[in-house]
Amino acid sequence: MDSVNITLPDDAWKDSFDKLLDPRPQLRELNIIKRNVRRSFNFDSSVENSNSNLLSVSNVSHPNLLEPKTPGPSANMKLTANNVSSISTPCPKRLRSMLFDCALSPIGGLKLDGLIADLNPKMIEVKENAEAPIRKTKQVCFKPNVDKPQIAVADRKRTKTVLAEIRRSSLVLQPGKWQKNLITWRRTCHQQDMPPRSDPGQKQSLPKKSTPAVNLEATIRNSRKSVNVKTSLEAVMPLSHEKQVLKYCNQRRALRFGTAYAASKMIGSSKIGEGVYGEVFKYTPKNSTEIDVVLKVIPIEGEIQVNGETQKTFEQILPEIIISKEMCNLRDNQANATLGYVDIYNVCLVKGHYPDHLIHLWEDFDSAKESENEHPEIFSDSQLFIVLELKYAGTDLSTFTFLNAEQSYYALQQIASALAVGEEALQFEHRDLHWGNILIEKTDNRELAYKLNGKDLSVKTKGIKLTIIDYTLSRVTVDENCHYNDLSVDEELFEATGDYQYDIYRMMRDELKNDWSKYAPKTNVFWISYINSKLIDGVKYRNPNSKTHKLYLDKLKTLQDIMLTFSSAGDCIRHINNCS
């Protein structure tokens, strides 16, 4: 009988990386190199893949929507016409797909200007193999970034459009705190568009971080709305927003900033963070040395722009105060309770110059980490501030090193459980739960207790406790009032790329059909899916080679495969509890 020789050549198992190492055996001994190189390909691919200019993804864009295990609204989700339809999920299914199924670096491939699908043998193979479900649904083609000759011959209007397109497509933001990124991007763009303006009145003592030369448009994050859906006495004769804020502060008038937060009352203080709207300090109160307090100091009602943004008004800060208090109150709620939202000790309205000792802390932080915010000396003596006094809740997820995936698996359960409780109690959607807005601290408690619809739940801590912060974009219903941030007029946020995070804003917009007052708990599922993607392929692990790590990493991946079929965080948590 004729035997057909189907034996593969000896080096058939080798990939291009192995071939590269063959003539350099000393490098092969450093196994770690190979592992790291591969990992960073996958990780960086999230950046590359989410650049709308490089990839044109039609039809269903999210990997988890390709093969939903159960049909749901998300299964039909399409990112439509005027949306940027790029998705950047660094997810296992995606890694199995065509882009990564080649010997060459997918990233190098993406950067080849002028490469078109028909010239790529891999793409031809995909066209012919109409049976393969993953490849069939995801129609990716490489296109040249910009058609240069066309710009040259086009009329002015067309050129302007193309240039605007180029500028927009370059809106690649870092993961995490997008507001700062966006402002820096806007500054750069506007400064490129407009002639530089001299500012003779600028104070010499205020260096690089002084008010930007360009008067930026009022931004979307100032479009906070509170909609009363029921006529109550207060709705007929509403208190002024200032009075409502004072009511929440238990004050009749603003206190002097320097007196309320005098250096003598604060031990071991330091500046620990900053956002677009405020500075964050940490200290131990002199009369209560057991606890660490965090001050989030937000200037309001002033004329001057701060960090490139118009200051919030009483009306705009009120929902953030209300949401912070309501979420914190869930600690003691009868039917739906959780400790997962940051504990708020007090809210205070203060007036006056920034106290000297806080200015020194600001300068220390600036020297060590280079602040992106403006020097607090810009504030006059009539400046008002809202100060949120919060419980210190640890370091953020992006900088935390987990022991292993078992620890992060239960961390995900903590977040999903807290969101589920928020949904039931207040129709809560966080809407901006990136990894800078989840804080982690150590705990001695073995389990954390939750109450969901009157039912007791518990989640293992594995030594850590997670806390959700920052409700700037959040939505809640309190006493039939709906508080939300209207993002419908925003342009740039939905065009940003650079991380799966920026796909989530587009996915939320599609889910809500751009009506940001609507309650759609699916947005919480989107953020759980984002957090899970970070736990799978973004955070650091101390023991990534242990059996336990691998076992739980698989659990996270299995969950990720079906994540977007859940309709709410509650739905997701019910599934997890049924499985365990």
Ligand X SMILES: Nc1ncnc2c1ncn2[C@@H]1O[C@H](COP(=O)(O)OP(=O)(O)OP(=O)(O)O)[C@@H](O)[C@H]1O
Which residues are part of a known binding site for ATP? 296
The verdict on 146 binding ligand X (CB under 6 A) reads no
Instruction: Round to whole Å and give the CA distance between 436 and 443.
Output: 20
The verdict on 439 binding ligand X (CB under 6 A) reads yes
The verdict on 422 binding ligand X (CB under 6 A) reads no
- Comparing CB distances to ligand X, the nearer of 138 and 431 is 431
- Comparing CB distances to ligand X, the nearer of 394 and 463 is 394
**What angle (nearest 5°) sits at the alpha carbon of residue 223, between those of residues 197 and 494?**
80
CA distances, 575 to each of 360, 433, 462 (Å): 50, 21, 21
- Comparing CB distances to ligand X, the nearer of 472 and 485 is 472
- Comparing CB distances to ligand X, the nearer of 407 and 472 is 472
> Of the listed pieces 91-99, 361-369, 433-441, 510-518, which binds ligand X according to CB under 6 A?
433-441
Q: In the set 66, 173, 220, 294, which binds ligand X (CB under 6 A)?
A: 294
CB 542 to ligand X: min, Å: 21
The verdict on 528 binding ligand X (CB under 6 A) reads no
> Of the listed pieces 44-52, 242-250, 435-443, 555-563, which binds ligand X according to CB under 6 A?
435-443
Residue 428, CB-side half-sphere exposure with 13 Å CA sphere: 32
The verdict on 396 binding ligand X (CB under 6 A) reads yes
Q: Which of 18, 44, 118, 432 is catalytic?
A: 432
366 in active site: no
Please report the sign of the dihedral spanned by the C-alpha atoms of residue 327, residue 333, residue 338, residue 339: positive
Q: In the set 266, 280, 440, 508, which binds ligand X (CB under 6 A)?
A: 280
Binding positions for ligand X, 449-488, rule CB under 6 A: 469-470, 472
The verdict on 559 binding ligand X (CB under 6 A) reads no
The verdict on 404 binding ligand X (CB under 6 A) reads no
CB 309 to ligand X: min, Å: 10
CA 419 to chain centre: 15
Instruction: Round to whole Å and give the CA distance between 110 and 114.
Output: 10
- Comparing CB distances to ligand X, the nearer of 405 and 469 is 469
Binding marks (x or -) toward ligand X, 163..192, rule CB under 6 A? Answer: --------------x-xx------------
CA 240 to chain centre: 33
The verdict on 496 binding ligand X (CB under 6 A) reads no
The verdict on 311 binding ligand X (CB under 6 A) reads no
The verdict on 317 binding ligand X (CB under 6 A) reads no
CB 396 to ligand X: min, Å: 5
- Comparing CB distances to ligand X, the nearer of 276 and 504 is 276
Q: In the set 17, 392, 519, 541, which binds ligand X (CB under 6 A)?
A: 392
Secondary structure tally for the chain: helices H, strands E: 20, 18
The verdict on 511 binding ligand X (CB under 6 A) reads no
Token pair, residue 524, equals 């919480």
The verdict on 390 binding ligand X (CB under 6 A) reads yes
Q: Give me the phi and psi of 19, to 5 degrees please.
A: -65, -35
Return the closest-CA partner of residue 538 out of 444, 431, 411, 369. Answer: 411
Query: Are 403 and 318 in contact, with CB atoms under 8 Å apart?
Result: no
- Comparing CB distances to ligand X, the nearer of 65 and 293 is 293
Query: Are 104 and 110 in contact, with CB atoms under 8 Å apart?
Result: no
CB 429 to ligand X: min, Å: 16
Instruction: Please give the residue whose beta carbon sits closest to ligand X in the complex.
Output: 275
The verdict on 277 binding ligand X (CB under 6 A) reads yes
- Comparing CB distances to ligand X, the nearer of 396 and 571 is 396
The verdict on 295 binding ligand X (CB under 6 A) reads no
The verdict on 299 binding ligand X (CB under 6 A) reads no
CB 293 to ligand X: min, Å: 9
The verdict on 271 binding ligand X (CB under 6 A) reads no
Length of the chain (residues): 580
> Of the listed pieces 31-39, 277-285, 442-450, 456-464, which binds ligand X according to CB under 6 A?
277-285
Query: Are 19 and 99 in contact, with CB atoms under 8 Å apart?
Result: no
CA distances, 566 to each of 64, 304, 340, 495 (Å): 11, 45, 21, 26
The verdict on 501 binding ligand X (CB under 6 A) reads no
Q: In the set 134, 272, 328, 403, which binds ligand X (CB under 6 A)?
A: 272
The verdict on 57 binding ligand X (CB under 6 A) reads no
Q: What single string gives the DSSP state of each residue in 313-363? A: -HHHHHHHHHHHHHHHHGGG-SSSB-S-B--EEEEEEEESSPPHHHHHHHH
Q: In the set 436, 498, 521, 538, which binds ligand X (CB under 6 A)?
A: 436
Contacts 24+ apart (CB under 8 A), 103-107: 103/15, 103/16, 104/16, 105/41, 106/41, 106/45, 106/48, 107/41, 107/44, 107/45, 107/48
The verdict on 530 binding ligand X (CB under 6 A) reads no
Strands 540-541 and 401-402, sheet pairing: parallel
286: helix, strand or coil? coil
Total interface residues for ligand X by CB under 6 A: 23
- What residues form the annotated binding site? 296
CB 259 to ligand X: min, Å: 24
- Comparing CB distances to ligand X, the nearer of 398 and 546 is 398
H helix or E strand, kind and range, residue 44: helix 31-49
The verdict on 281 binding ligand X (CB under 6 A) reads no
The radius of gyration computed from the CA coordinates of the chain, to the nearest angstrom, equals 26
Burial class (CB in 10 A: 0-12, 13-18, 19+), 213: middle
Q: Give me the phi and psi of 235, to 5 degrees please.
A: -75, -30
Q: What single string gives the DSSP state of each residue in 206-230? A: S-TTSPPSS-PPP-GGG-EEEEE-S
- Comparing CB distances to ligand X, the nearer of 110 and 267 is 267
CB 176 to ligand X: min, Å: 8
Instruction: Round to whole Å and give the CA distance between 441 and 431.
Output: 23
CB 203 to ligand X: min, Å: 24
Strands 344-351 and 255-256, sheet pairing: parallel
Chain residues binding ligand X by CB under 6 A are: 177, 179-180, 272-273, 275-278, 280, 294, 296, 342, 390, 392-393, 396, 436-437, 439, 469-470, 472
Residues annotated as catalytic are: 432
